[in-house]
Amino acid sequence: MIPAKRYCLVTGAAGGIGRALVDIFADAGYGVIAIDLMKEIKGLRCLHYIQADLNLLADDCEYADQVMLRVRGFLGDRPLAALINNAAIQVMAPTALLNRNEWKKTLNVNLLAPFFLAQGFLDELMISKGVVVNISSIHAQHTKADFVAYSTSKAAISGLTRAMAVDLRGAVRVVCIEPAAIETQMLKDGFKGRDGDYKKLNELHPIGRIGKPDEVARLALMIVDGGINFLNGVSIRLDGGISARLMDPEY
């Protein structure tokens, strides 16, 4: 196999958006290094795969160093063009019942691990004038009951995007995507037995449907490789127009 000229690192590769990211970047000629908690992912089109626990990576410096060393082993002397922080967990619990472990794990996976990965691969990203793409959520701006931990972590990573872009002064670009509902298996499982509610969720988006994983992935590729290097320090809402809609009782 001929080594790719450009490499990207994608976390959360097992999910619907993660798989789409791997496929889209592989199609664009990138050597994709994929990370996920799962031991093995069948059919994943990455060049290299690493099983890693981002919750542990955020807590344990030695473990984090081991994971990053494996990534560097796959990179060799080739620079890292993009880090795509896609992995996330979603704990649903009201304020009164949200426990410390749930809070900590949510922040570890959704916020701290993305920062430590960006920090850890900063030299590689600077060599390539690379890009960090953080996959946030519409919950960074608009949320609902029982999403306290998740929405807080997503608001934080959107804020981290702005802060890092300013701090890195253009040496590495940092851009965020805030998707609304995306058609993943996880979303469908959450609406199992509630076909009417799932249909209504689609209809609530002014475009008439929820988003598709490959739309998130194509936007990420555009950010990384679309020739728009002035795009930096911003969060792009990929939401089908739902954040613009005023929800009256008729809806």
Taking only the tens place, the pLDDT of each residue in 57-100 is: 999 999 999 999 999 999 999 989 999 999 999 999 999 999 99
- Residue 153 CB-half CA count within 13 A: 27
Say what the pLDDT of residue 142 is.
94
Residues in the chain: 251
Q: Kindly report the pTM of this predicted structure.
A: 0.95
Residue 192 has pLDDT above 90, yes or no: no
Q: Within a domain: residue 64?
A: yes
Hey, how many other C-beta atoms are within 10 angstroms of the C-beta on 215? Answer: 18
DSSP state of 147: B
Say what the pLDDT of residue 222 is.
98
Q: Of 30, 49, 150, 198, which is the active-site residue?
A: 150
Q: Within a domain: residue 132?
A: yes
Q: Within a domain: residue 247?
A: no
DSSP three-state, residue 192: coil
Q: For residue 112, name the pLDDT band (cuts at 50, 70, 90).
A: very high
Rounded to the nearest 5°, which phi and psi values hold at 2? -80, 125
DSSP three-state, residue 4: coil
Q: For residue 5, name the pLDDT band (cuts at 50, 70, 90).
A: confident
Owning domain of residue 131: 6-182+213-237
Q: Within a domain: residue 24?
A: yes
| Joined tokens for residue 177 | 């995507």
Q: Within a domain: residue 233?
A: yes
Measured between alpha carbons, how far is 72 from 222 in angstroms, rounded to an integer? Answer: 25
Q: Within a domain: residue 50?
A: yes
10: left (phi over 0), alpha (psi -120 to 50) or beta: beta
Hey, how many other C-beta atoms are within 10 angstroms of the C-beta on 105? Answer: 18
- Average per-residue pLDDT for the chain: 95
CATH number at residue 143: 3.40.50.720
Q: Within a domain: residue 98?
A: yes
Question: How many domains are contained in the chain?
Answer: 1
Active site residue 150: yes
Q: Within a domain: residue 203?
A: no
DSSP three-state, residue 38: coil
**3-state helix, strand and coil shares in percent for the chain, rounded to the nearest 5:** 45, 15, 35
Taking each helix axis as running N to C, give the angle between helix 113-120 and helix 61-75, from 0 to 180 degrees, rounded to the nearest 10. 50
CB 221 within 8 A of CB 25: yes
DSSP state of 3: P
Residue 32 has pLDDT above 80, yes or no: yes
In the chain, the amino acid numbered 8 is C
